[in-house]
Amino acid sequence: MITAELIPALSDPFAEYTVFAPTNTAFDDLVMNLGIDIPTLLTLPNLGDILTYHVLGMEVTSDMINNGDIVSPLSMSNTLKLTKTSGGEVFVNQAQVTGADVGADNGVVHILNSVVLPAITVVDVAIDNGFSTLATAVITAELIPALSDPFAEYTVFAPTNEAFDALVAELGIDIPTLLTLPNLGSILAYHVVSGTVLSTDLMNGEVPTLNGESVTIDLTNGVMVNDATVTTADVPADNGVVHIIDKVLVPMSTATNEILTTLELDYFPNPTTDIVNLKNITQGEYQVFSFDGKIVLGGILSGNTIRVDDLATGTYIIRILNESTVSQAKLMKL
């Protein structure tokens, strides 16, 4: 902040600010991702914009944050998307708050484990282009942190509001009920492919998605993804691309009439560092999917615990299958 000459503004004792402060390690990770060093970072022409993207012009304590809050920082380049998970963890875009409510006379500081950048992500494309149901579903499923990572790349097949309306009409429910479905996160992840796949890169065949299953691309008559038509292709984002589709994709292993019967996996703790303790499940096959759709862990249960200490920090989907049920949930690994 000294280099960007922001000290005079942020030291005003009569103003109030909220500062999301990345650690030194977070800045080390940033320069590694950018392929530069700290001295070079300090010479970037947009350094001031990056830093003011971490500052709100008001005091916001952690108990004031709600899941899905979208707030405007001092930087005008983009908004910040806030996530408060069901377990109480708070994220700012992709960065987790690791220390909250550090007091100051003119505001409050929250410590982040990552630097946030004002990049236009696939999340912004959904929010800014009227995909209100999709955006609400992504917020509800607590997927904002994963999809707003500026250094990841995703391809999103984005259903319109009308596509979601058609799905709930077929199910005989409404949008609020849809947002409570235990497998909502898996359905949404079925719309996301790792990497940037432009329409010119698509080929006939199967493409793996982030929920561990594949969609089928058919270029015979336009571009079809399963039974959905791509109505607008190649909407760009800084961390990928969005293709607009006219129908919600339902995973092949989940028939439409089974969407309401998939069980929410009950386990603790979440997030975890080493062990997942399952509640009321001791038998079956377990699978853990990374957010690029790969099975990174799996096996047969021999009790009610699964060791995950070898997994890297990140967001995963954990799924338990037995003869009669499928149970799954999102897992945060620290």
Q: What is the CATH number of the domain that holds 244?
A: 2.30.180.10
Shared-domain flag, residues 130 and 254: yes
What is the reported pLDDT for 10? 54
Q: Which domain holds residue 143?
A: 122-259
- Of 259, 274, 295, the residue that ends a domain is 259
With a CB cutoff of 8 Å and minimum separation 6, the contacts of 213 are 190, 251, 252, 253
What is the reported pLDDT for 196? 96
pTM given for the model = 0.79
Check residue 259 and give left, alpha or beta (phi > 0: left; psi -120 to 50: alpha): alpha
What is the reported pLDDT for 5? 44
- Of 226, 242, 259, the residue that ends a domain is 259
- Of 61, 92, 112, the residue that ends a domain is 112
Total domains in the chain come to 3
Shared-domain flag, residues 255 and 275: no
| Residue range 88-114, pLDDT digits in tens | 899 999 999 999 999 888 889 999 999
Shared-domain flag, residues 149 and 197: yes
Shared-domain flag, residues 236 and 144: yes
Element spanning 146, H or E? helix 144-147
Report yes or no on 45 lying in a domain. Answer: yes
What is the reported pLDDT for 2? 42
Report yes or no on 2 lying in a domain. Answer: no
Report yes or no on 66 lying in a domain. Answer: yes
Shared-domain flag, residues 231 and 247: yes
Which residues on neighbouring strands pair with residue 235, listed in sequence order? 242
Shared-domain flag, residues 169 and 246: yes
| Calpha distance 90→99 (Å, rounded) | 10
What is the reported pLDDT for 291? 61
Report yes or no on 47 lying in a domain. Answer: yes
What is the reported pLDDT for 106? 82
Shared-domain flag, residues 143 and 239: yes
Shared-domain flag, residues 286 and 237: no
Element spanning 144, H or E? helix 144-147
- pLDDT per residue as tens, the chain (334 positions): 445 444 544 555 556 899 999 999 999 999 999 999 999 999 999 999 999 999 999 999 999 999 999 999 999 999 999 999 888 899 999 999 999 999 888 889 999 999 999 999 999 999 999 999 999 999 998 999 999 999 999 999 999 999 999 999 988 888 888 888 877 888 999 999 999 999 999 999 999 998 888 999 999 989 999 999 999 999 999 999 999 999 999 886 665 556 666 677 888 888 888 999 998 888 888 988 776 556 789 899 988 999 999 988 877 878 888 766 778 777 888 8
Report yes or no on 117 lying in a domain. Answer: no
